Amino acid sequence: MSQDNHAAIDPEREKGFTPEPLEEDPKLFVLARNFR
């Protein structure tokens, strides 16, 4: 994960989202969140 990705994803992690790399392009991430 590049520094730019870290800077963009870290705040989302703090909000409860989990980043998962896309299989088609591992440089891209999907943010997922479980609302249970």
Domain limits for position 24: 3-32
CB neighbours of residue 28 within 10 Å: 11
Structure confidence by residue, pLDDT tens digits, 1-36? 566 767 888 888 899 999 988 999 988 889 999 888
CA dist 14 and 7 (Å) reads 12
Q: What is the pTM of this model?
A: 0.59
DSSP category for residue 9 = H
Q: How many domains does the chain contain in total? A: 1
Q: What pLDDT sits at residue 35?
A: 85
Which structure tokens are listed for 34?
Answer: 């479980």
Contacts of 33 (CB under 8 A, 6+ apart): 15, 16, 17, 18
